[in-house]
Amino acid sequence: MQKEISDYKIGLLGGGQLGRMLLQSAIDLNLDVSIMDADPNAPCAHLAKHFILGKLTDYDDVMQFGQDKDLITIEIENVNIEALKVLERNGVKVYPQPHIIELIQDKRKQKFFYQSQGIPTAEYVLTESQADLYNYLEMIPAVHKLGTGGYDGRGVQMIGTVADIDKAFDRPGVLEKCIDFQTEISVIVARNERGEVMTYPSVELSFHPEENLVEFLFSPANISKEIEVKAQELAIKVITKLGMVGLLAIEMFLDKRGELLVNEVAPRTHNSGHHTIEANQTSQFEQHLRAVLNLPLGITKTLIPAAMVNLLGAPNHTGNAIYGGLSQVMQMPGVHIHLYGKKVTKPFRKMGHITITNEEMSVLKVLANQVKNILTVKA
């Protein structure tokens, strides 16, 4: 006899803001979710029914956490793969699958996968050290990415001139030729065990000039119907070629020739899908749970255009978070505030996000800029 979903013991590796929002969707479905994180003050800590302290990269901690679960899933890729493989062999369902998380953990392996599967991506070479970049001067200007260990804008640097090589990473990485692009978009796609696939409409991304973090997001993306169809097809191709179960966020460049190139992927809920809580028929967080539990996938239709603004810790401020401008922003029409419960702010730390909904994109852009300029997090 098949278990009811409420009887499943679900384990989530990671207790950050993504886990927090996933937990909110899990409550709506009456799911039994346990969370493990190394930080006793993680955003999920005081919300989770079962919160376990443990290091996500530690074999023993992950094994002990997962051994009594029916299903393990993630909110961050930096987890112990060997433990997940053993748990999978022992009959625990692990989604996304450990070998796919392992592939995505390594940008070098990612690039080879794209190339081998006919998935368009930027021209690249693999580098072994800082000195190795001098062998590829013809690639400059380029973007240098660490093979492993990068996250949330870290592990990525611009090599604009030969002089910048002195600041390059001295570890194995990927050197990508700069793309002359019109815009950067993101498509979120979900796939369940049955092979059912559902994509979200493309969104347009605007990045912080210094920190390589998404500053603004606009939904839907300002692209032609033809490009939208191509973006959806490319997202489906990537998740299908991977054979992945779960939710996959795919950032793409739209170049000046009208071609789409895969830039980055994340096998989990993602910053580029936060607006779906208010703006789409099914949020990315509910969709993640539907996918890993092999439930029917939800309709992803856009209900209303939206903008999302990341609330980042102010530069030169570290300490207990003090929010400025909250009352003023809450008076603005269509504003939905999400604070992540982080007590301590740091420069450019993600402290929350604001989704703004409005039928007119021109109004959204004005409101997004106003929110960015009014709302602050200082110490």
Residue 154: predicted pLDDT: 77
How far is residue 301 from each of residues 30, 245, 305, 355, measured CA to CA in Å?
Answer: 24, 21, 11, 17
Residue 211 — pLDDT band, cuts 50, 70, 90?
A: low
- Residues facing 157 on adjacent strands: 144
Q: Could you report the per-residue pLDDT of 168-203, keeping only the tens digit for each?
A: 999 999 999 999 999 999 999 999 999 999 999 999
As a CATH number, domain 123-177 is: 3.30.1490.20
Res 151 pLDDT > 90: no
The dihedral through the CA atoms of 47, 52, 16, 45 has a sign that is positive
Q: Does this chain's domain 123-177 share its CATH topology with 181-378?
A: no
Summary mean pLDDT of the chain: 95
Q: Could you report the per-residue pLDDT of 13-70, keeping only the tens digit for each?
A: 999 999 999 999 999 999 999 999 999 999 999 999 899 999 999 999 999 999 999 9
Alpha carbons 120 and 105: distance in angstroms, whole number = 19
How is domain 5-94 classified at the architecture level of CATH? 3-Layer(aba) Sandwich (3.40)
Q: For the chain, what is the HEC assignment? A: CCCCHHHCEEEEECCCHHHHHHHHHHHHCCCEEEEEECCCCCCCCCCCCEEEECCCCCHHHHHHHHCCCCEEEECCCCCCHHHHHHHHHCCCEECCCHHHHHHHHCHHHHHHHHHHCCCCECCEEEECCCHHHHHHHHHCCEEEEECCCCECCECEEEECCHHHHHHCCCCCEEEEECCCEEEEEEEEEEECCCCCEEECCCEEEEECCCCCCEEEEEECCCCCHHHHHHHHHHHHHHHHHHCCCEEEEEEEEEECCCCEEEEEEECCCCHHHCCHHHHECCCHHHHHHHHHCCCCCCCCCECCCEEEEEEECCCCCCEECEEECHHHHHCCCCEEEEECCCCEECCCCEEEEEEEECCCHHHHHHHHHHHHHHCEEEC
More confident residue, 153 or 150: 150
Q: Could you report the per-residue pLDDT of 241-298, keeping only the tens digit for each?
A: 999 999 999 999 999 999 999 999 999 999 999 999 999 999 999 999 999 999 999 9
CB atoms within 10 A of CB 328: 12
Res 208 pLDDT > 90: no
Could you give the percent of the chain with pLDDT greater than 70? 97
Domain 181-378: state its class: alpha beta
Residue 86 — pLDDT band, cuts 50, 70, 90?
A: very high
Contacts (Cβ under 8 Å, ≥6 apart) of 125: 136, 139, 174, 175
pTM for the predicted model, two decimal places? 0.95
Could you give the percent of the chain with pLDDT greater than 90? 92
Alpha carbons 336 and 277: distance in angstroms, whole number = 10
Delimit the domains of the chain by residue range.
Answer: 5-94, 123-177, 181-378
